[in-house]
Structure 1
Amino acid sequence: MDFKLAAKEILENVGGPENLANMTHCATRLRLTLKDPSKANDEAVKQIDGVVNVVNKAGQYQILIGTEVPKLYDEFEALVTGEDGNSQVKDSGEHSGSIISNIFSAISAIFAPLLPALAGSGILRGLLILAVQTGILSENSGTYSILNVASMSVFYFLPVLLAFTSARRFGVSPYLSALIGAALLNPEFIALMGDTGNGTTTSFLKIPVVLMNYNSTVVPIILSIWAFSYLYKFLDRKVPETLKLVVVPLISLAVMIPLTIIVIGPIGVYSGEAVAQVVNWLIERSSILTGILIGGGWSVLVSLGIHWAVNPIMINNVSTYGFDYIVPFTFACNFAVIGTTIGVYFKARNNKLRSFALTGLVTVALSAIIEPTLFGLLVKNKKLFLAQIIGGAVGGAYLGLTKVVTNAFVFGSVTTFPAFVTDNASNFIQAMIGLAISLVTSAVLGYMFTEREEMLS
């Protein structure tokens, strides 16, 4: 694939840089927010070499590329960056679509760059727990401490990382934003809480302040940088160029850090905890039904590009409680996709279809990327899509019944099995049984629903 040529052709067929309000990418898709979606030529984009499909949902124009999308994005970004190094994309904050669509778009842009770090840290954490359980490492050893720091730092410093990615999404200085996030983790600020922890009070200019521990939190810093974007853009318009170097950062830090600590932070902590508690309460009340809905419906959310709305809840659960119930259900979906490709491979006679199914199997099993198989095979064949949904639902029901959890936010594949390693030894065994149920069910149905002479459409 010629990434430079593909980037050029995509840009031309979505209306040029002047039609871009925002751009980002996730694991497999180039995600564009277009000022005028009607200027995009869907069919022309689909014909570009390397483009698998186009989905215009959740307020974003999503171009499915595959795992090499970062390389395409680098070329795409270079095209929309002026000779002075400044992007020609001007995010005015006015995005097409509904408020809900814009929220999905923002969540995607904020979390996508962090997913590799979160996934890698999660796997390392699982392997570390396994090493302790098997007696390879002692929790009192220096090796354990160093590896534990390596695996948990991404969660502890999540406010700083989210501040940086949020800044890019909302069009403000990423470095000032990172400083706002870092201030919440400053040892001197944390020391104000003493041994009491959350709920300790102090004052700022005689204003009462309720202190919170913000390490591993998600919502507070995103709300803070969103609010900061309005102040930053106001200052950028009003402050003379000769004074911006000093005045903008001075006012930004002096206003936003106290505002975050006094108002935005506590609201974010309580609201984030409330959402997570509601979701977890629903799971506890009817874990089987939840497993059916998420295990069976996750691929539908992925096909629409709105699964990002759930990812922050999973990340918040892991960072707050140390485990999550939802991630296993997404595993069920992915292994149902694997099962469906197995059924197709053994039933179909067409070599092109069998080759595509085998490629999809390997891709999902090793990288957890289901989009190429989802759009290239399942979405085009409703019977196979149904086979995958049923397999995911049945496996999800079992995982819900047995209350399987993961110790990290990861994507469901064979390589991420260590995420199921917890202090409860049966958790891993039940997870493997649940995923086997998903795989076998969808494989059988995929075999039944595939015609021997079926072709890859």
Structure 2
Amino acid sequence: MDFDAAAKDILADVGGAENIGNMTHCATRLRLNLVDRSLADDKKVEAIPGVLNVVYKAGQYQVLIGTEVPKLYAAFEQLVNTARGNAPAEPQTANKGTSQGGISAIVGNVFSAISAIFAPLLPALAGSGILRGLLILFVQLGLIKTGSGTYTILNVTSMTVFYFLPVLLAYSSARRFGASPYISALIGAALIHPDFIGLMGKTGNGATTNLFGIPVVLMNYSSTVVPIILAIWAYSYLYKFLDRKIPENLKLVLLPAVSLIIMVPLTMIVIGPIGVYSGEGVAHMVNWLIDRSSILAGVVVGGGWSILVSLGIHWAINPIMINNVSTYGFDYIVPWTFACNFAVIGTTIGVWLKARDTKLRGFALTGLVTIGLSAIIEPTLFGMLVKHRKLWLAQIIGGCVGGAYLGLTKVVTNAFVFGSVTTFPAFVEKNSGNFINAMVGMLIALVTSAVLAFFFTKRDEKLA
């Protein structure tokens, strides 16, 4: 794929640099917030070599590229910045020329923001999750002893991303909302400074202190998600106001000083506690539903995850999973995404066994390997399942059945990971039944989808 040529063509066909409100990418898609949606020509974009599909969902124009999207994004970003004279992209909160309005527009913007904020961090979270799972496995096998120097170093390696999550999220949130990334990172770092955490003493969350007589409810913000995102969203408005009002020759000193003296106390006094309690509230609600009917939850998530992926809004669920892992040390939702992924693998196996078309069998085999090693289902989803709805139905049913079993047996993961063979260590728990039930649940999803796909596939089925 010629990334420079593709980036140039995509930019031209979506309305040029002036039509790009914000740009980012995830594991497989170039994600754009367009100023005017009507200027984008979907058919022309889809016809560009290397582009697999175009989707407009959750307020974003999503161009499916595949695992090489970072290379395309680098070329695309350079073109946009060059066209703007290296001016940074200004995020837009609304899209002209769209049918979105009211609540749907708000929901779309929220999904768009979540995707842009978390997408850059997902590799770090996934890699750390794999390391965490392997460490637990080695401890269970007696290869590493807890409390040893080796254990401590490896544990720090795997858990650092969660401890410093407010700093990382502050940076990516600032890029999404249009604030200073480095000042934002300082705001996040202030929340986990040892001296601030030390104010809680032995009381922990809920302890109080004061700032010039103003009461401050203390919280441990390490590993939290919601507070810093809300804080940087609020800071983006202050930043833009200060950037307009402060004279250019004073910005170097005044802008960061005023930003910190306002935002750090404001976050600690108001935004932080609200964010902690609201984030815990959402997580408690989801977990309450899981406790009431884990089987139904497994069916809905296991079967519906590929639908969320097809719409590009599955990223909105990630904060809940991350919050569960960082707060409780485990999560029920991640295993159900495994059920979806292994149902997709099963579908590719059924197609490969039944079809005789060389291209279709080759595509199915490529999908099997890609998902098994990297957990990326989009190429298979858009390249095969969406085009052959019966196969998609086979995958959904497999995901439902596998998810139901995982819900019934209350399988959990100890880390936020993507569903592939390489992330199996995330299922290792002191209770060995957790790992066994996880393997059984994924096998059920795989076999169910494989059998259905085999029967749904015609011998002379073609790829397109």
Question: Which of 123, 126, 142 pairs up with 2:130?
Answer: 123
- Matched with 1:396 is 403
Task: Determine if contact 1:296/1:389 at 8 Å carries over to the other structure.
Answer: yes
Are residues 1:341 and 2:348 paired? yes
Supply the AA of the counterpart residue of 2:132. Answer: R
* TM-score, normalisation: structure 2: 0.97
Question: Within 5 A, what are the aligned runs for 1:276-425?
Answer: 276-425=283-432
Among residues 216, 219, 233, which one is paired with 1:226 in the alignment? 233
Q: TM-score, structure 1 length as denominator?
A: 0.99
Structure 2 equivalent of residue 47 of structure 1: 47
Unmatched segments (≥5 aa) in structure 2: none
Q: What amino acid is the match of 1:426?
A: G
**Partner residue of 1:13?**
13
TM-superposed CA distance for 1:221, in Å, is 0.1
* 1:273 counterpart SS class: helix
Query: Structure 2: how far apart are the matches of 1:91 and 1:428?
Result: 43
Match of 2:216 in 1: 209
Name the CA distance, whole Å, in 2 between partners of 1:87 and 1:44. 27
For residues 67 and 223 of structure 1, the distance between their equivalents in structure 2, rounded to whole angstroms, comes to 31
**Which residue identity is paired with 2:271?**
I
Kept in 2: contact 1:123–1:418 (CA 8 A): yes
CA contact (8 A) 1:53 1:63 kept: yes
> Aligned Cα RMSD in Å?
1.0
Following superposition, the deviation at residue 141 of structure 1 comes to 1.2
Give the stretch that moved more between structures: 390-399 or 85-94. Answer: 85-94
Q: Which one of the candidate residues 233, 238, 243 is aligned to 2:245?
A: 238
Deviations 1:171-227 (A, max 9, x none): 110000000000001111011111111111111111111111100000000000000
Kindly state the Cα deviation for residue 88 of structure 1 after the two structures are TM-superposed: 5.3
Distance (whole Å) between structure 2 residues aligned to residue 93 and residue 7 of structure 1: 24
Change (3 A) 1:178 1:346: same
**1:133 is matched by which residue type in structure 2?**
Q
Give the match for residue 191 of structure 1: 198
Give the 3-state SS of the residue equivalent to 1:55 in structure 2: strand
* Paired residues of 1:58 and 1:101 also in contact (CA < 8 A): yes
1:317 partner amino acid: N
1:108-147 → structure 2 map (5 Å cutoff): 108-147=115-154
Separation in 1, partners of 2:216, 2:210: 5
- Residues 296 and 396, structure 1, Cα contact 8 Å, conserved in 2: yes
AA paired with 1:247?
L
Contact 1:18 1:89 in 2 (8 A): no
Equivalenced residue count is 457
Equivalence map 1:65-104=2 (5 Å): 65-82=65-82, 86-87=86-87, 89-95=89-95, 97=100, 98-104=105-111
Offset, 1:95: 4.2
The whole-number CA distance in structure 2 between the counterparts of 1:127 and 1:92 is 42
2:154 counterpart letter in structure 1: L
Counterpart residue number, 1:25: 25
With over 3 angstroms needed to count, the CA separation of the structure-2 counterparts of 1:351 and 1:83, relative to structure 1, is closer
Q: CA deviation at 1:314?
A: 0.3
Cα distance in 2 between the residues matched to 1:92 and 1:59:
10
Distance 1:87 1:407 in 2: 42
Q: Distance in 2 between matches of 1:383 and 1:87?
A: 47
Note the C-alpha offset of 1:154.
0.3
Q: What secondary structure sits across from 2:215 in the alignment?
A: strand
Look up the SS of the partner of 1:295 in the other structure. Answer: helix
Give, in whole Å, the separation in 2 of the partners of 1:95 and 1:331.
Answer: 34
Instruction: Between 74-83 and 213-222, report the one with greater CA deviation.
Output: 74-83
Asked whether the 8 Å contact 1:17–1:88 carries over to 2, the reply is no
* Partner residue, 1:35: 35
Structure 1 residue 94 displacement after superposition:
3.5
Rounded Cα–Cα distance in structure 2 between residues aligned with 1:208 and 1:85: 47
Residue 265 in 1 paired to residue 272 in 2?
yes
**Cα 1:230/1:117, change in 2 over 3 Å:** same
Match of residue 166, structure 2, among 159, 164, 169: 159
Mapped to 2, the partners of 1:68 and 1:418 lie a distance apart of 26
Label 1:85 to 1:180 Cα distance change in 2 as closer, same or farther (>3 A).
farther
For 2:64, the equivalent position in structure 1 comes to 64
Q: Tell me the secondary structure at the aligned position of residue 81 of structure 2.
A: coil
Output aligned runs, 1:439-450, within 5 Å: 439-450=446-457
Q: Residues of 2 paired with 1:255 and 1:205: CA distance?
A: 14
Give, as a single letter, the amino acid of the residue that structure 2 aligns with 1:302: V
Cα distance in 2 between the residues matched to 1:160 and 1:382:
43
Instruction: Quote the Cα distance in structure 1 between the aligned partners of 2:350 and 2:150.
Output: 45
Q: Secondary structure in 1 aligned to 2:460?
A: coil
% identical aligned pairs? 74
CA distances 1:41-69 after superposition (whole Å, capped 9, x unpaired): 10111111111100011100000000110
Q: Which residue identity does 1:44 align to in structure 2?
A: K
Q: Residue 33 of structure 2 contacts residue 92 of structure 2 at CA under 8 Å; is this kept in 1? A: no
The runs of at least 4 aligned residues of structure 1 exceeding 4 Å deviation read none
Letter of the 1:116 counterpart = P
Q: Using the alignment, how far apart are the partners of 2:279 and 2:300 within structure 1?
A: 23
SS in 2 for 1:310: helix
Deviates more, 1:89-98 or 1:398-407: 89-98
Cα drift, residue 85 of structure 1: 6.7
The answer to whether the Cα contact below 8 Å between 2:342 and 2:442 also exists between their aligned partners in 1 is: yes
Q: CA deviation at 1:93?
A: 3.7
Report deviation, 1:165.
0.2
Q: How big is each residue's C-alpha offset from its partner over 1:62-88, in whole Å with a ceiling of 9 and x where there is no partner? A: 000001100100000000113897335
- Gaps of at least 5 residues in structure 1 are none
What SS is found at the alignment partner of 1:81? helix
Task: Kindly indicate whether the alpha-carbon contact (under 8 Å) linking 1:82 and 1:88 is maintained by their aligned counterparts in 2.
Answer: no
Distance 1:175 1:140 in 2: 35
Q: Which amino acid aligns with 1:207?
A: I
Aligned equivalents of 1:95, 1:182: Cα separation in 2 = 33
| One-letter code aligned to 1:49 | P
**Which residue identity lines up with residue 274 of structure 1 in the other structure?**
G
Looking at structure 2, the residues matched to 223 and 56 of structure 1 have their Cα atoms a distance apart, in angstroms, of 26
Asked if structure 1 preserves the Cα contact closer than 8 Å seen for 2:17 and 2:84, the reply is: no
Change (3 A) 1:452 1:124: same
